[in-house]
Structure 1
Amino acid sequence: MGDGRFGRTLDLGSRAWWRAVGRRVDLAGEHRWLDAPACGPGPVGESWLAAEAERVGGSVDADVTDGGLLASMSVLDGPGFRAADLDERVRDFYEHTARWRMDVWTQWSPVFQPGGELISRLFGRRVQQLALPTRPMDVAHGMDSRVVHLLDAEGRQHAAGWLRTLTATGEYVYSGCYSARLLPGSDQPSVHVAFPLESGSVQVFLRPHVEPDGSLLLTSASKAFGDPGAYVLVRHGDRAYAARLPLHERFHVYADPRGILRTDHHLRLYAARVLHLHYRLGPA
């Protein structure tokens, strides 16, 4: 079986699995909070941007030199969060992401590293999406970052695409759609990150919190369907299915004692530590 045919079989099988274990959702009604970009067959990269702009009746601004993942951090304001309390450097990163560059280090749990490498080889690198680096040398030359804005019909920022590629090879690591979204039954907006895939997406909802030192915590707790966390969404014809993943993430964005902005990203499967990513952020 050729590589292309084998990959196609994997993709069809994985979508069938998620339809089987997921629940039917109504993206036009009760489960609108799960409505997110998807893409067609082939590598993801930035292929979803134009299709998503057309779907929402807007346009793409690919020449972003100053904008950020969110137009303003105040869109997250609620009972558990006030953007005004953030360290101004943290706030600047999210509102002017295009001005920043990043260096990244990875540390996998020895138990999960082989599985991460297998998933990356079978899916991530092939489809150019969620290709988590599994070895420190994978990111030795750094990671490039580009921000693209999705505009609504009035020209306002509807969402942002954040495209991250390996400097050494140009291969996509992440291609995510960032916005603020209110989950059902909540009065606190979450950061919503959707990673488009063929006929679906992986989505993460992160609850924001400001620490006493002005640093930012973004967390996804292990609770019920509809709470912050990670989800897989699969579209099949005019139907859609979603499943909650037992993955829990914690981002801590802070300035170190020398004033350098850093991010610690911890990923867990249930209670087991899977991966730690550390980012050093600086002016582009």
Structure 2
Amino acid sequence: MNLGLTGKVTLITGGSKGIGLVTAITLASEGAHIAICARNEDDLRGAAARIVEKTGAKVHYIQADVSSEKDCQRAVAETVERFGRLDILINNAGTFAAGPFEHATHEAWTQDLDLKLFGAIHCSKAALPYLKESGRGAIVNMSTSSAKTPGASTLPTSVSRAAGLALTKAMSQDLAASHIRVNAVCVGLIQSDQIERSWKNQHPELTWEQFSQLPHHQIPLGRVGYTQEAANVIAFLVSDAASYVTGTSVNVDGGKGATL
């Protein structure tokens, strides 16, 4: 299948590692030009080198903190200055911050909402004029399947991610007339630095495959997911192959989520 991504310019926040980096490599392999932004310049430099090594694509990296509106505006401006356009925005920046309600401080709430919700808002707002010019713009907002059915000790992440789903649906309605599609990808347990640390700290005697398949993860497909599996879904949603898909969320969680 031809995804129609050749020459498309993509900005990925949180693009220096994990799902963001693997998505960058996946899109670059399909011929897209890539801009990644994150807070750590060393991580960005290494990520950009890896993308070039694997794909030979044009890559630009931007040190930015998306919890800052000015940094969001600068990231978009630098992308357009480097490549002359912007077709795709992937709002991926975020960390996992979860605990019981009584332990969630005002600072924790503010930091989480600034990073995950307002980061997506500010980046999307800055990107909007260029996505309109593209004529076939696409935005993907990253979320979690637990945002749809929050459990105990999931705050503030479940709230900021749930707000991101509402943002996705409302934006898809507002921007459809400008031919900009907006979707969300809701991940569950996906192989990441954080999960790998849990594996090495809690079960160093197990291989990754053994840890991934432990019953306590309660994943119907029987294992933790791979970053590439999330990246594949993101690539589809921003591609021409999904030209009639907008305003929806796709769970990439091995069936763990309780809702569609």
Query: TM-score normalised to the size of structure 2?
Result: 0.28
Query: TM-score normalised to the size of structure 1?
Result: 0.26
Higher helix fraction (1 or 2): 2
Higher strand fraction (1 or 2): 1
